[in-house]
Each structure stands twice: as structure tokens, then as C-alpha cells.
Amino acid sequence: MRYFPYLCAALLLCACTSNDEQTMQVNPDAPLGVQQAASLWTAEDGDQAAFEALVKDYTCASDSERTVLFESLSRIIENCYQSADMLTVELLRPTQLTNAAAPQTPDWIMSGYSPLAHFSDDMFANQLAFITMLNFPHYTLEEKNALGGAWTRQEWAFARMGDVFTERVPAATNARIAQALADAENYIADYNIYMGNLRTEDGRQLWPEDKVLLSHWNLRDELKALYGERLAVSGERNEKQEMIYRVMQRIVDQSIPAEAVNGKEYVWKPYSAVSGDGLRDTAEPYTRYARILSIAHAYFEQDQYCPSAPTAIIRNFEDGMEMPAAELDSLFRALVGSEQVQQVAAIIRERLGRELRPYDIWYDGFKARASMDEDALTAKTRALYPDANAFAADMPRLLQQMGFYSEDARNIARHIVVEPARGSGHAWPCLGRKEEARLRTRIPAAGMDYKGYNIAVHEFGHCVEQVLDMYMIDHYMLSGVPNTAYTEASAFLWQQRDLQLLPGNGERRKANGERDAVFDQFWSMYEIMGVSLVDMAMWQWIYAHPEATPKELCEATMQIAKDVWNAYYEPVLGEHDCILLGVYSHMVNAPMYLPNYPLGHIVQYQLEEHLAQYKTQREFAQEYMRIYRLGRLTPKHWMIQAVGTPPSIEPILRAVARACKDF
């Protein structure tokens, strides 16, 4: 996952004044930038004469003046963002990397500090924000999509400059958002389940003592790995998968014993939720949902300063992702409700030799590794990567294996650092050209296991994208991608090739076949789209019930999860009123982030289809580099320039239909 806990607040820097504070009188025919600057001018900024003087003194008189101003502002913004990010990285180091600081220590307290919390206030106070607005007006998403096809690269960069200052939020509000996000992240990063402490109802231990899995990521990946485990009778249910499923349910409904969360000594039975001694202990006190509400309350405070985007939902989707929530909801429901779902489910049912279970949304048998011994893969990855430094040293080879020229590979790799993560792993982007992209990955003392390697390759895909569209792009204001889904697409591209990147495994993926690769991609979309529908609906409910308690949010989220499940998943996977779709940790520590994953899968498939026409690895790499140097256009225009068409589920639906017909 591309990691944005503090950027969620920093890059949505916004505030606006109410009309009764506004002092400016502006001709309706005045340039757009003048109108926008006037709309945010308050009595504290000066009187009418002061505003008119600012307009006169700082409105560029020629294109050349505007270009000079643009370069100056770009340098200032890059330095501000970059410096703040470098400080944030240092402050979060004790809580995000291994050997984390203990709660309530100064390190822990400072993890919630946002260096950019006062940035908006300061830039309006010194009037740099107004100068920017006067010369680089803000275009709406509709206007960007309508006009952007005819824009030059510089005109796109100018438009992105116009996105920097659109609203004004007090620094204290930004700080509260950053703190709420940091608290949620710290909560999730310590949500470990000690699998060796789990017991069946008859007292058996299924996992070794040293098996520790972070929720939800590692629980899910362990469940996936178990599809390769040989069972005594073909087609029977896997006992370990069933137990993980029960643990997940208890996390969602908060009936998990509080002592079991990161509890090194607590032995318990997930089915009855009692301790190994037969005692029923205190359930977790709706902490999961309290963390979500803490973020929501900070967003409610922000809402009053953002009349053009008065909810976090609008800010996230229309301003952040630049795709309305309703559009994504419709896109996702079209796929999860398609006839292709039943067709692929029938194939999975045949392969498993049993009726499908809810956790089969994570069926992993279409991947090449499903037929491989994971212990053997782990032995190989541990030998290759005993620590973070070993993975870092191997990055140039990984890039060359994908087809990059050796010089490009070295140049990209030198801008990426690898660090041992406290959580499951993430990629922290560079916000300036004096900063590295950071690949955080979890590496046990015995070395990187295969699951960790698979995640590390995913995060490496993020970092490669981040370096390309920061260090190898024409305008700083175009650095990045349209939204997080587009960096997820890059990460998925790399992750799907994890086996071919291992020495000696180059032909494994080819043996898998194109058909299974299509099924695997489609089933991943089916799974994550349901989770995203729950996440989006949960936030709609929160805004409709701003006074809700953690318990009420828990009950509402479970009902939403049941409704989505019953409509789109029960007909395929069975079990009425299943709450499994509510288990993702992103729902807690990364508000409304989840829809980026299914959109990322959609983008990835379109990229895969486009890149398939390049017959050599070298051609593949060169086209990949071209695409990921397009920068931060809108999602629509990025896709058109990358592959020729806007985002669509039709290519994957057609591919699945063809694959099922040939099965």
C-alpha cells in the first residue's frame, strides 16, 4: 500500500471563510483567479484597497512573467513539502520501524505531530496563497476533464499549481486530523494475533509458538497460503482456514478478547472466545470503531471550512481521487454483480472439490505459486534476504530482470531506501528531489519469508513509480500519479511478477497460463470491491449519524457488511449475514483508502493488456517508464494517454468471458 497517514491531512490543506467574513467586492467579469482569491479574503487580510493593491502588484502581465512565477512557486512548494516530509519521517521512525518506542513516550506523542499543519495559515498570512490563486486559478474536475485533452504539459502543471490553495483550514484542525490518523495507525500497527496461542474447542494447538500475524494483512495472507496445504481428504475444509475466519469475525464484531490483541501470553479459543482456562474474558471495548469516529470527528471540524467540498467524502473522492464516489460505487457493483462471478466461482468450486466458504473470496489457487511449496519459497527468500540491506542491494537486479537498462536500474535504485517495518509494510513516497522513496517491509529475525517477499515486491512497485514521476518528470507540479489507485496499479504489476523475479524462477509464471492470470485478476477485483463498497457505505452512515457511539458504529458497519454480502456474495460463497467484508484494517487507519485498490486493479488490467503487445522485457520496461512519467493528470486523461481509453471494467469482463468459454 502506498502510505499516506499524514498526507491525508497535509495534501487536503483547506479552509474557507464564511460569507459574513468576506470583504471583497469583485466584478463578476473579473478573471477567475481574482474571483477565487476574493472569495477567501477576510477582514484580517486587509481592506478593499489592500486587496486591489495585491491584484495590481502581483498579477503577471505576460506569459513569460507567469512562467517565472510558476518556477519560483514550484521551488518553494517542493522545499516546503519535502522538508516537512523529511521531518515527519524522522518523527515517525520510532513508531513505524522495528524496535518501536513504548506508548506514551515522547516518541509516541510526537508521532502525531504534523509539520504542515500551519502551512495553509502561513501562506495565506504572508499572501503567497493569494498570489498563487491570482495567477493560477483552480479548475474543477469537470473543467479539467473537458479542457485537459488540449492542454500542453506546462498548462497541466499550471492547473495543478491552481490546486494547491483552494480553501483554508485552521492549523489546529489540521493538527487534530493528523493526530487522529496517527493514533489509528499506532493502534493497527500493534494489532497482532499470536497464532500459537489459539486452541481448538478440544484444546489442540494448530500453529507453532512463534507464529505471529498482524491483522488483517498477515491473517489474510496466511489463509491464502493454506490453499496449498495437503488435506487428509480431498475437498474437506481446512481447519486452520476456518479458525482464521472465526478470528476475523471476532475482530469485526469486537467480541475478540481484549487480552488476545497483541497478547503474547493469552491462550484462547476463537470459537467460544474463552481463555485456555475456560474463563470468558473482557471483549475489546469497540476500540476499532472508536478510532474511526475519532478521525470522523476531526473531519467534521474541517467540514465547516470547506463549503465547496463540505464533507470528507467529497474531498476524498472528487478532490482527492478525482472520481466521484457514486461513479466508483456503480463501477464496482457492475463487476461484483456480473455473470462472470458465478462462472469463475464454479471453476474454484471444482478445483477445491467442495462448496465454497466465505473466506474463499481470498482463493489463491490461480497464481503460479499456489502449486508450489511455500516452505521452499521461504527458504529461498530467507537465504536471499536475511535483512533489509540485502533486499536493498538486490534492487538493481530486480529492475534489470524486469527489462530496465542497467544504468536506469542503478539510477532508480539509488533513490530508494529499504527499512524494517513494524507493521506489514508500506511505501512512503518522496515529496521532493532531495529525498528518497522508502520501502518499509517486515523481516523476521530468520530472514524474509515468502509472504514478506511478496509484499516487499508490491511496495517496490510503488517506490519505482515514485522515483520515475519525481526524479524523471518535466514539472514538479506534475509529480505523482492521478490518485493512489494508479500507484497501486504499479505495485500490482510488480507483485504479480514476484516469482519470475526470484533467481531460477523465470519460467514459472509462463507455466501458469494466461487464462489463470485473468481469473486471478478478476477474483481479486471481486473480493476488494465488496470491501470497498462497505467502506464507502460506512462513511455515508457516519455522516448521516454524526453523534453515533463506537458501539452504534460497530452495529451499523456489521449491517452494511451483511447487506453487501447478502446481495453479491451469499449467492456465490454462501452463509447469510456474513460480516467478513468489514475486517480490513484500512477501514480504521486509512479512511476511504480502500476504493483505490479495486480501481488500481482495473487500471492494472488495462495496463497489462496494453503492455502485452511489447514482446521483450526491454520494450516492456521502456513503455512502463513512459507511462509512469505522465504524472498527475486526471484519472481519465492519464489512462487515455497511457493506453488510449478511460478507466473501464469492460476489458476484464470480456477477458473472463473468453477464458471461461475456453475452460
pLDDT at 17: 36
Share of the chain above pLDDT 70, in %: 92
Of 321, 348, 262, the closest CA to residue 535 belongs to 321
Q: Give the type of residue at 610.
A: H
Is the pLDDT at 368 greater than 70, yes or no?
A: no
Quick one: DSSP state of residue 632? S
Residue 130 is assigned to a structural domain of this protein? yes
Buried/exposed code over 542-552 (b: 16+ C-beta within 10 A; e: otherwise)? beeeeebebee
The region, left, alpha or beta by phi > 0 then psi within -120 to 50, assigned to residue 631 is left
Residues 256 and 329 in one domain: no
Phi, psi dihedral angles at 417 (to 5 degrees) = -115, 145
Is the pLDDT at 10 greater than 60, yes or no?
A: no
Residues 450 and 359 in one domain: no
Domain boundary among 138, 167, 188: 188
Domain boundary among 476, 498, 528: 476
Of 298, 205, 350, the closest CA to residue 660 belongs to 350
Parallel/antiparallel/unpaired status of strands 274-275 and 268-269: antiparallel
Query: Taking the model in full, what pTM does it have?
Result: 0.81
Residues 17 and 164 in one domain: yes
Residue 451 is assigned to a structural domain of this protein? yes
Residue 184 is assigned to a structural domain of this protein? yes
Q: Which residues, at least 6 apart from 182, have a Cβ–Cβ distance to it below 8 Å?
A: 5, 6, 92, 95, 111, 112
- In 3-state terms, what secondary structure has residue 390? helix
Q: Give the type of residue at 146.
A: A
pLDDT at 99: 67
pLDDT-based confidence at 281, cuts 50/70/90?
Answer: low
Q: Do 556 and 543 contact (CB within 8 A), yes or no?
A: no
Is the pLDDT at 108 greater than 80, yes or no?
A: no
3-state secondary structure 526-537: HHHHHHHHHHHH
Residues 356 and 383 in one domain: no
Angle formed by the axes of helices 484-495 and 596-611, nearest 10°: 60
By residue range, what is the domain housing residue 624?
A: 325-367+511-662
DSSP string, 186-220: HHHHT-EEEGGGB--TT----S-TT-EEETTHHHH
Read off the pLDDT of each residue in 165-190 and give the average, rounded to a whole number: 91
Read off the pLDDT of each residue in 298-304 and give the average, rounded to a whole number: 96
Residue 496 is assigned to a structural domain of this protein? no
* Residue 407: C-alpha distances to residues 174, 403, 587 (Å): 42, 12, 40
Number of domains in the chain: 4
Residues 564 and 650 in one domain: yes
- The cell numbers describing 579, all together, are 460480516
Residues 516 and 607 in one domain: yes
Residues 207 and 148 in one domain: no
* Residue 56: C-alpha distances to residues 60, 77, 174, 509, 591 (Å): 9, 24, 32, 63, 42
Give the chain's end-to-end CA distance (angstroms, integer): 33
Q: Do 450 and 382 contact (CB within 8 A), yes or no?
A: no
Give the DSSP H/E element, type plus range, for residue 425.
strand 425-428
Residues 159 and 220 in one domain: no
pLDDT at 15: 32
Residues 429 and 357 in one domain: no
Domain boundary among 169, 188, 207: 188
Residues 547 and 419 in one domain: no
pLDDT-based confidence at 508, cuts 50/70/90?
Answer: very low
Residue 292 is assigned to a structural domain of this protein? no
pLDDT-based confidence at 517, cuts 50/70/90?
Answer: confident
pLDDT-based confidence at 578, cuts 50/70/90?
Answer: very high
Q: CB-hemisphere CA count at 13 Å for 501?
A: 27
What would the pLDDT profile of 449-506 be if each residue is shown by its tens digit? 998 999 999 999 999 999 999 999 999 999 999 999 999 999 999 998 999 999 876 5
Residues 18 and 138 in one domain: yes
Q: Do 515 and 657 contact (CB within 8 A), yes or no?
A: no
Residue 306 is assigned to a structural domain of this protein? no
Of 109, 83, 81, the closest CA to residue 95 belongs to 109
Residue 486 is assigned to a structural domain of this protein? no
- In 3-state terms, what secondary structure has residue 540? helix
Residue 482 is assigned to a structural domain of this protein? no
Share of the chain above pLDDT 90, in %: 75
The answer to which of 19-33, 155-169, 455-469, 479-493 has the lowest mean pLDDT is 19-33
Residues 184 and 194 in one domain: no
pLDDT at 442: 85
